[in-house]
Amino acid sequence: MATIEISGVSKVFKDAKRKADVTALDDINIKVEKNQFLCLLGPSGCGKSTLLNMIAGFEKPSSGTVTVDGQLITAPGSERGVVFQQANLMPWLPVWENVGFHLLLRGGQKAVRRETAQRYIDMVGLTGFENHYPSELSGGMNQRVGIARALLMNPQVILMDEPFGALDEQTRMDMQNELVRIWQEHQGTIVFVTHGIDEALTLGTHVAVMSARPGLIREIIPLDLPRPRDITSPQFNEIKRHVLDLLRSERTKPSLETLDHP
């Protein structure tokens, strides 16, 4: 059974102010198997976040279904960890309390929370920063805290919405390597939203290339490239060219507005 199964999912937002409906996603079908790393790649507004939010249970499909391990998703759940572009940390709590926050919500004792949090702090390479506060860390370090917090729940699925989008190029590359290392060591199923082609091809076992208005899956490409990925290799560039072609043909497609009003 696929870990995540998205079947015939469409999403229409009612825009009451403009008295118009926005079809954000149209008939999306994706199966993500256990331990796969799927990148959702597409231009701004193609519905990547909407799709991720439906797997997370923050949004409901207008039609179709999303299941995780056969269970219909209707609400958020602890078996799905979510990492956003901003780490959304609690500034008044030190790193270890932020990482172990879910344990606090469950009534976990301080010593247990501290010890468990430390394991995940070490895992994301923040050993020594346990007692720092978010304002004392860089953006990349805060993002590591967010990742550690999501991993601590030991979720079956990790959902990441442009988690490295706000980082500088060098930090982003470091974080990509770190994420691949954690995923390789600990396994797990990841769905990762990005609009960076290199990022998608560096990270994923698969990339789903999306198009906009309405959001469709153009193609799901398996990435059979050795790791660590070499972004200058001929194989990498061959796939990149294909992805660019898919995205370009989307851009040059005449829009409905153009057809209606030549």
Ligand X SMILES: Nc1ncnc2c1ncn2[C@@H]1O[C@H](COP(=O)(O)OP(=O)(O)OP(=O)(O)O)[C@@H](O)[C@H]1O
- Residue 24 or 150: the one with the smaller Cβ distance to ligand X is 24
Interaction of residue 22 with ligand X, rule CB under 6 A: yes
Strand order in the sheet with 63-68: 20-32, 4-15, 63-68, 71-72
Residue 13 binds to ligand X (criterion: CB under 6 A): yes
Q: Between vectors from CA 19 to CA 14 and to CA 24, what angle results, nearest 5°?
A: 35
The residue among 36 and 50 lying less far from ligand X, judged by its C-beta, is: 50
d(CA 8, CA 213): 17
Q: How far apart are CA 188 and CA 182, in angstroms?
A: 9
- Site for ligand X contains 195 (CB under 6 A): yes
- Dig out the tokens for 46 from the structure: 């193609």
Q: Based on CB atoms, which residue is closest to ligand X, 2 or 22? A: 22
Cβ of 19: how many Cβ atoms within 10 Å?
7
Task: Give the span between the Cα atoms of 67 and 240, in whole angstroms.
Answer: 31
Minimum distance from residue 256 beta carbon to ligand X (Å): 14
Nearer to ligand X, 48 or 80 (CB): 48
Q: Which is nearer to ligand X, 52 or 99 (CB)?
A: 52
Among 46, 55, 95, 221, binds ligand X (CB under 6 A): 46
Sole residue written with tokens 């860390």: 137
Pick from 3, 36, 50, 142 the residue near ligand X by CB under 6 A: 50
Minimum distance of ligand X from residue 22's CB (angstroms)? 5
Per DSSP, the chain holds a count of helices (H) and strands (E) of 9, 10
- Does residue 24 belong to the site contacting ligand X (CB under 6 A)? yes
Counting contacts by CB under 6 A, is residue 44 touching ligand X?
yes
Q: Which residues bind ligand X (CB under 6 A)?
A: 13, 15, 22, 24, 42, 44-50, 195
